[in-house]
Chains A and B, each alone.
Chain A
C-alpha cells in the first residue's frame, strides 16, 4: 500500500525536478525511487491487508507481481540514458509518467473491486499513450500515440461496458461477491445472459490491453512507432500487469462460470499463438518481429487462465518475469543498434558477435529464453505453463498446438542469432557504442535469465 502512495509522491517530485536546469539527476533519482519502492513493497510479504473499504488488497500475489514490475522498470530505465543529453525538452514529465503508470500497474494487480481495476488500467494506459508519442519530432511516434489512444480508449469503453453489465447482473463491484453470486447462476439468482455477456466483453477489453489476437491490430504499429525504450516498457510491465489482472479476475471472480467463457478464451489463445508466431516469421524488422512475438507470448500466458491449480499462479509469475527480462535485453540492444546503424532490420545486427560480443551474447540469451530453450528462464516459463494446463481435461491438443508453434518461434528468434554470429559485418559498420552502465544492466539481465534457467525454484516457489 505504501508503495502506491510513495510512487505517486515520487512521480510528483520527478515533475518538479524536471524544472531544474540540469536534468542529469532525473535518471539516478528515478532508479533510487524504484529501489526504495521495491524494498518497501517486500515488507508487505505474508501480511495481507485490505485498504479503502476493501477496494484494494495487498496480498502475496500483489506483492510478487509488484516486485517483478518494479524490477522490470528498474531494468528498463537505464536505456533512457540518452534522454539526459536532450536538455531542450521536458524529460521530467517522462520520468514522472513512468512512475505514475507503475501506480496504475500496481493497482491492477492488487484490486479487489472492479472499479479499482478500471482505474488502474486507465492510469496505466493514459501514461502509456503519452509515452508512445513522446518522440515529438517523429511522425511514426505521433501515429503510434494516436492509434494507441483511439483504439485504447475505445476498448477501455468496451471494458467498462462489460463491468457495468456484470454489475447489473450481480449488483456488486467486489470480485469476491461477484464470485459468490456467479455460483447462483442457473438457480434463478443472477441474470445469466447479462452476466455472461458482461464477462465476455470484459475479456475482450483486457485482451486488447495485453495485445492478444484478434484484438492485436494496434500492436505492430504502436510497438514499431513508439520510442524503443517505451516499447520495452509496454511489452514488459504493461503486459505483466494486464495478464496478472486478467488472471486474478478470472480466478477470483469468474472461475465458477468457466464453461461459459472457456471457448472464447481458447479461441483467443489459439489465434494469438497462430497470428503471433506466423506473423513474426515474415517480418524483416526486428522490432516488428518482437511485436508479433509479444502477441504470441500473450497467447502462452493466457494458457494459464484455463487452469486454476497450484501451478498456474506461479506459472504466470514466472513466465511474465522471464519474458520481461528477455524483452528488455532484446529491445535495449535493439535501441542501441537502431540508433547507431539507422535500421531496425535484421541486417543491422550482422556481425554484432564480432564487434560487440557482450551485446550479442545478451541478445542471444534473450532469444534463447524467448524461444524457450533450456538453461534460460524462458524454458521453465513454458514448462510451468504447459504443466499448469496439462491437468485440465481435453486440453492436450492445445498444448500440441502451442508446442508446434513454439518450434516456429525458434525460426525467427534464431534469425537474429544467425545475423549476429554467422553473417559478416556490413561494410562501414563499426562497433556499437554502449555505456558501461548499460553493459552492467545487460550482464545483470543475462545472469538473471540464466540463473532462473538453472534454479527456477528461486521464483517459482514464492507463490
Chain B
C-alpha cells in the first residue's frame, strides 16, 4: 500500500498543480513533495532490514500474458526512493526564485517525473520497469526543451532520441527473456523479476542479451563512449532539469544494471566485465581530463559527473560486496553533491549572469556562508575523509582493487584528478580579485540556505555514519550476489 502511495501521490499532485494557475503552483508542488518525503521516511521506519521485498503489491496487469503490476521495495530500492524523495523537494525549493513561464505546467511535469522515477525504483516486473523508464523520460524532455537555453531544441532532441534508441533494445531483450521464463498455471510466461532471476541460458545468448540491456543502461548513466548527449543536455537544460537529470535520473541506469542486468545474465556479465571496466575507467580519466579544461562551470560539473559515474559503474561490475555497496552509497553521495553544486552554480549565474570561470573571482570576500557550503560540497565530491564522497569512493576503489590490481591503480587517479578540477574551479570562482561580474555579490538568502543546509547535513551524515544507509541495502546486496554467483 505504502509503495502505491509513494508511486501515485506525485502523479495525483501533478494533476492538482496543473489546476493552479500562477505562483501558488510552486508552493503546492513543494508541499506535495514534502508529503512524499514523509511517506518515504515512514516506509524507512517500518522497513525490516532483511533481503525481502517489502510493502509489495502484486496485481495482474495483462493477466493472460503473465504481466503483473508488481511493485515493492527491498533495501536497494528503498535507498533510491529515499534519494529521490529527499532531492525532489529541494529541487522544487531551489526553483522558488526562478520565474518560469507557465509555472503550473513546469511543476506538474516535475511531479509527474517523480512518479516515473519512483516507478523505476520500485517496479518488480520487467515491463512495468520499462514502462516507468519511459514515463520518466517524457516529462524531463519537455522540461528541458521548453524552459532550456538557446540551443535547447536540437540538444534535448538528441538526448531524447539517443535514450529512446537505447531503451528500445532493452525492451527487445526483456521480451526475449520473458519468453524464456517458465509460467504459472494462469499464463505461459512471466515477466516478474523473480522469474527473470531463475533463468538459465547458455553464455552465447547471455552475451548478446547483456549488450542489449547494457546499451540502454550505459546511455542513461552515461558510460563512455555513450555519453555524448550528456554535457550539452546538462548545459542547455534549466538548472532544475539538470539537477533531476544528474541527481536522480542518472541513477536509473545504475539501478537498472544492479537490478536487471547483473543477476539476470551473470554469464554475460562475467564475459564482458573486463570490457565494461575498461570503458568505465576510460570514462573516469577522460571525464576528468576534459573537466580540467572546461571554462563553463556547468560543463565542468557535467564532465565530472561522467568521471564519477565511471567509477560507480566500474565498482558494480566487479561483482563483489565492496563494489556494489560502494556503488549504492556513492549513488546517494553523488546525487546530493551534484544537486548542491548545480544549485550553487545557479546561484552564481543568477547574480553575475555568467558561468565562465574567467569572468568570476573574489566571491569569498563577501560571502562566508556560500563559501563554506560550496567548499563542503566540493570536498564531498573530491572524496575527502569525513565527507560522503570518501565512503563511496573508498569502497568502490577497494572493490576494483580486489577485482584487478591494475584497474584499481588507474581508477584511483580519479581522486587526484577530481581534486585538480574541483579545486581549480573553486580557486577561479571564489578566490582572487573581484571581477566586474562579482562586484557586490550577495551572500546566501534564507531559501537558498534552506536548500543547501540539508544537503550539507547529508554530506556529513553519510561521511560519518555511513552504516545508517549501508545497513539498509546490505542484505539485499548480499542476496543479489548469491543469485549472481549461484
Measured CB to CB, the residues of A under 8 A from B are 310-311, 368, 373-375, 379, 383, 386-387, 390-391, 396, 399-400, 403-404, 406-407, 410-411, 414, 418, 421-422, 455-457, 460-461
Q: Could you write out 8 A-B pairs with CB less than 8 Å apart?
A: A374-B133, A374-B135, A375-B135, A387-B65, A390-B176, A400-B172, A407-B165, A414-B161
Instruction: List A contacts of B127 (CB < 8 A).
Output: 383
Does A421 contact B146, Cβ atoms closer than 8 Å? yes
Asked if B55 is at the interface (CB within 8 A of a chain A CB), the reply is no
Instruction: List A contacts of B132 (CB < 8 A).
Output: 374
Instruction: List A contacts of B160 (CB < 8 A).
Output: 410, 414
Shortest distance from the beta carbon of A278 to any chain B beta carbon, whole Å = 15
Q: How far is the CA of A418 from the CA of B153 in the complex (A)?
A: 8
Does A403 contact B171, Cβ atoms closer than 8 Å? yes
- Given A390-B175, A411-B161, A422-B146: A461 and B134 interface contact (C-beta under 8 Å): no
Shortest distance from the beta carbon of B186 to any chain A beta carbon, whole Å = 12
Which chain B residue shows the least CB distance to A310?
B188
**8 Å CB interface, B424-482 against A:** none
Asked if B145 is at the interface (CB within 8 A of a chain A CB), the reply is yes
Q: How far is the CA of A460 from the CA of B160 in the complex (A)?
A: 29
Q: Name the prevailing secondary structure of the B interface residues.
A: helix
Asked if B62 is at the interface (CB within 8 A of a chain A CB), the reply is yes
Does A403 contact B169, Cβ atoms closer than 8 Å? yes
Classify chain B's interface size. Answer: 20 to 34
Does B131 contact A374, Cβ atoms closer than 8 Å? yes
Instruction: List B contacts of A400 (CB < 8 A).
Output: 169, 172
Does A410 contact B62, Cβ atoms closer than 8 Å? no
Instruction: List B contacts of A455 (CB < 8 A).
Output: 61
- The 5 lowest CB-CB distance pairs between A and B, nearest first, are A407-B165, A374-B134, A403-B168, A374-B131, A457-B62
Does B142 contact A399, Cβ atoms closer than 8 Å? no
Q: How far is the CA of A386 from the CA of B130 in the complex (A)?
A: 15
Q: How far is the CA of A375 from the CA of B64 in the complex (A)?
A: 20
Instruction: List B contacts of A456 (CB < 8 A).
Output: 62
Instruction: List B contacts of A387 (CB < 8 A).
Output: 65, 175, 178-179
Q: Name the prevailing secondary structure of the A interface residues.
A: helix
Does A403 contact B62, Cβ atoms closer than 8 Å? no
Q: How far is the CA of A374 from the CA of B123 in the complex (A)?
A: 15
Shortest distance from the beta carbon of B207 to any chain A beta carbon, whole Å = 13
Asked if B157 is at the interface (CB within 8 A of a chain A CB), the reply is yes
From A373, A383, A390, A407, B179 is in contact (CB under 8 Å) with A390
Shortest distance from the beta carbon of B252 to any chain A beta carbon, whole Å = 14
- Given A387-B175, A407-B168: A418 and B145 interface contact (C-beta under 8 Å): yes
Shortest distance from the beta carbon of A322 to any chain B beta carbon, whole Å = 14
Q: How far is the CA of A375 from the CA of B169 in the complex (A)?
A: 18
Instruction: List A contacts of B188 (CB < 8 A).
Output: 310
Q: How far is the CA of A422 from the CA of B133 in the complex (A)?
A: 24
Does B142 contact A386, Cβ atoms closer than 8 Å? no
Does B153 contact A375, Cβ atoms closer than 8 Å? no
Instruction: List B contacts of A404 (CB < 8 A).
Output: 165, 168
Instruction: List B contacts of A374 (CB < 8 A).
Output: 130-135
Q: Mark B124-148, 1 if CB is under 8 A from A, else 0.
A: 0001001111110010001001100
Asked if B201 is at the interface (CB within 8 A of a chain A CB), the reply is no
Which of A310, A374, A399, A410 is packed against the most chain B CB atoms within 10 Å? A374
Does A375 contact B161, Cβ atoms closer than 8 Å? no
- Given A373-B164, A375-B138: A391 and B169 interface contact (C-beta under 8 Å): no
Which chain B residue shows the least CB distance to A382?
B171
Q: How far is the CA of A387 from the CA of B65 in the complex (A)?
A: 10
Instruction: List B contacts of A311 (CB < 8 A).
Output: 65
Does B134 contact A386, Cβ atoms closer than 8 Å? no
Q: Mark B280-302, 1 if CB is under 8 A from A, else 0.
A: 00000000000000000000000
Shortest distance from the beta carbon of A305 to any chain B beta carbon, whole Å = 18
Q: How far is the CA of A386 from the CA of B62 in the complex (A)?
A: 16
Instruction: List A contacts of B169 (CB < 8 A).
Output: 400, 403
Q: How far is the CA of A391 from the CA of B65 in the complex (A)?
A: 14
Shortest distance from the beta carbon of A319 to any chain B beta carbon, whole Å = 15
Q: How far is the CA of A244 from the CA of B86 in the complex (A)?
A: 51
